């Protein structure tokens, strides 16, 4: 489970947009669901594009799927787009907010063509839904 820039500030960052859950709260919610699904999850948050690229490369070696909240890189990062295209494991993109209902610049989603699917707009629950989608795909379900 990869989280990009500024998501370390969840809970204090624009709570009217992103809610009051901290990233630790989100991780606890995901861990609980992961246990019930019988899967292990590794959590990484970074504010740095290259670290996220490295983590996607690393995931291809020891993970069955990735749930990625790329933060603002969703709208800008060709490097993340290429990293996702380079690996075979499914990547599910998640966003807490409904990016389509916000500023026009957030409607440009450069990762969308290479991820297996997106979950947007359900607050912290987007991560849990993203996990369910990723497990479904990793277990051979259809995307
Ligand atoms: C976000 C949406 C992005 O547009 C924004 O830059 C973020 C958070 C979300 O989870 O809603 O940092 O990825």
Residue 9's CATH number: 3.40.50.9100
**The pLDDT of residue 109:** 98
| 109 found inside a domain | yes
**The pLDDT of residue 35:** 98
- Residue 17 alpha carbon, nearest atom of ligand 1: 11
CA distance 81 to 66: 14
CB 84 within 8 A of CB 37: no
* Among 3, 74, 80, 124, residue to substitute to test ligand 1 (most atoms within 8 Å of Cβ): 74
* Among 45, 48, 69, 80, residue to substitute to test ligand 1 (most atoms within 8 Å of Cβ): 69
List residues with catalytic annotation. 18, 95
**The pLDDT of residue 142:** 83
Number of structural domains found in the chain: 1
**The pLDDT of residue 119:** 98
| 83 found inside a domain | yes
Beta partners for residue 119, in sequence order: 94
**The pLDDT of residue 132:** 98
**The pLDDT of residue 44:** 98
Give the residues of the chain that fall short of pLDDT 50. Answer: none
List of residues 6+ apart from 99 with CB closer than 8 A: 74, 106, 107, 109, 120, 121
Q: Is the dihedral of CA 111, 112, 113, 114 positive or negative?
A: positive
CB 115 within 8 A of CB 77: no
**The pLDDT of residue 143:** 74
| 22 found inside a domain | yes
User: Could you count the other beta carbons within 10 Å of the beta carbon of residue 74?
Assistant: 25
| 143 found inside a domain | no
Domain assignment of residue 67, given as a range: 2-138
Tell me which DSSP letter residue 21 carries. -
| 53 found inside a domain | yes
| 111 found inside a domain | yes
Check if 95 has its Cβ closer than 6 Å to any atom of ligand 1. Answer: yes
Note the pTM of the prediction, 2 decimals: 0.97
């Amino acid at each position: 489970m990869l989280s990009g820039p500024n998501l370390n500030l969840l809970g204090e960052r624009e709570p009217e947009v992103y809610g009051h859950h901290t990233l630790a709260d989100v991780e606890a919610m995901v861990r609980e669901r992961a246990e019930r699904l019988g899967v292990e999850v590794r959590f990484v948050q970074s504010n740095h594009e290259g670290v996220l690229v490295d983590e996607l490369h690393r995931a291809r070696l020891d993970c069955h799927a990735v749930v990625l909240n790329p933060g603002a890189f969703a709208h800008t990062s060709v490097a993340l787009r290429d990293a996702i295209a380079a690996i075979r494991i499914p990547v599910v993109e998640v966003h807490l907010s409904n990016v389509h209902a916000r500023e026009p610049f957030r409607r440009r989603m450069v990762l969308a063509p290479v991820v297996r699917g997106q979950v947007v707009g359900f607050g912290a629950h987007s991560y849990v839904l993203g996990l369910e989608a990723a497990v479904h795909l990793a277990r051979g379900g259809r995307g």
